[in-house]
Amino acid sequence: MGEFPVLNISALTTAAASAGGASSEKKPLARRVDEVCRETGFLAIVGHGISEATLSGAWNAARAFFDLPMDKKLAVRMPYTGYPYGYSPLQAEALAKSLGQETPPDLKESFSIGPLVHRPHTGNEPEAQFRFAENIWPKEPANFRLAWSEYYRAMSELAARIMRVFALALDLREDFFEGVIDDPMSAMRALNYPHPSAAPKPGQLRAGAHSDYGSLTILLAEAAPGGLEIQSPDGKWLPVPLVPGAFVVNIGDLMARWTNDRWVSTLHRVVNPPPDAKGSTRRQSIAFFHQPNWEAEIRCIPTCLATGEQAKYPPVGSGAHLMEKFHRTVKLGSAAATNT
C-alpha cells in the first residue's frame, strides 16, 4: 500500500452537488474511491463541510462524560448484555471475538447511541428489542444530548453524500442507494482508551482486530500514542495517519458483500501505546457506523458481476445481516452485564 489516500469531497457539499450536479468534479473522485475500496477500503476525507462547532460540541461532551465519576457513568450503563446503547465500562468487550478469536477484553470504555427517532411500530417485529431500542442519555454534561444529536444528524447527512459517490464509483445512478438509506439503523460510539495503569495481558489490545459490520464508518480521532492500524493486502499492520481536519472513512462487511467482494472490508485494530511513551497516552475517538434501512434487501450489485459470473452471496436483509454479526459476540436479552 502506498501513501494513505486523502480525498477532498468539497464537490459534494453544495446544494447543487447534493442534487446531482457538478458531475465533472465527482467522476474523478468516484474513480479514486473505487481504486481505494478495491485495495483497502480505508481513506481520509477533507472538504466535508462539517462545522467546527458541531465537531467540538460532540467531542468535548464525550470527553466530559468520560471524565465523570464511575457511579455517574454507570447510571447510563447498557442495562443488559446485548442492549446496543448506553455506557460500556472498561474491559467489557473483546472485538476480536467477532472473528472467532479468544482474547482478553479490550482496554477501552465506550458510550453509544442509535437512531434519534423510530418509525411507528408495534414492538412485536422480529428483533424489536434491538431494532427499536431507545437511547439512554446521561444527565451530565448538560449539553450532551443536544451536541450528540447535532453530530449524529451531521454524520447521517455526510454518510448519505458518501453513498452517492459510492454509487458513481460502482457505475450506478447517483441516487441508487437512496431508497435503502432513508431510514437507516446507524449507530454512533465514543471510545475512551485510558492511559494504562498496568501492563496489558498477552494478546490484549485497546481494540482487537475486527472488521466493521455495515456499509461505511466515519471516524473522528485524536493523535495519541497507541492508535488505529489496518492490515494491508500483504498481511502487514500499518498505522493510519491522522490528517488535520479530516475524517477516516472505511467500508464495512455489508458493502463488501453488496459489491461481491470487489471492495474489501479490511481488518483493523487499536494498538497499545509503547511502554516508553512520554506523558499521558489517553486517546479518544467517535465512530459513526452507517447501516442501511432494517428491511433493505442487500443483493449483489449488477455492475459488480462480470459476464457469466455468479454472486458469491445470497440476498440478505440489512437487519438480518446486522443481527447475525451482533449475535456472534453477545446474547440479546441476557442478564445484566458484568464488568470483566
Looking at residue 31, its pLDDT comes to 96
Question: Is residue 291 in a domain?
Answer: yes
Counting Cβ atoms within 10 Å, is residue 251 exposed (0-12), middle (13-18) or buried (19+)?
buried
338 part of a folded domain: no
Give percent helix, percent strand, percent coil of the chain, each to the nearest 5. Answer: 30, 20, 50
What is the pLDDT, as a whole number, of residue 16? Answer: 46
CA distance linking residue 16 with residue 208, whole number of Å: 42
**Residue 339 within a domain:** no
335 belongs to a structural domain = no
User: For the chain, which residues score pLDDT lower than 50?
Assistant: 1, 15-16, 331-340
- Provide the number of structural domains found in the chain: 1
Chain-centroid distance, C-alpha 152: 12
Give dist(CA 331, CA 83) in Å, integer: 9
Give, for 44, the enclosing helix (H) or strand (E): strand 42-46
pTM: 0.91
Q: Determine the structural domain holding residue 191 and report its residue range.
A: 6-326
340 lies in some domain: no
pLDDT at residue 23, rounded to an integer? 67
Note whether residue 336 is domain-resident. no
What pLDDT is stored for residue 203 in this prediction? 86
Asked, for residue 72, whether it belongs to a domain, the answer is yes
CATH of the domain at 141: 2.60.120.330
Length of the chain: 340
Residue 333 domain flag = no
249 φ/ψ angles, rounded to the nearest 5 degrees? -120, 135
- What does each C-alpha distance from 258 to 42, 43, 113, 187, 313 come to in angstroms? 17, 19, 26, 20, 9
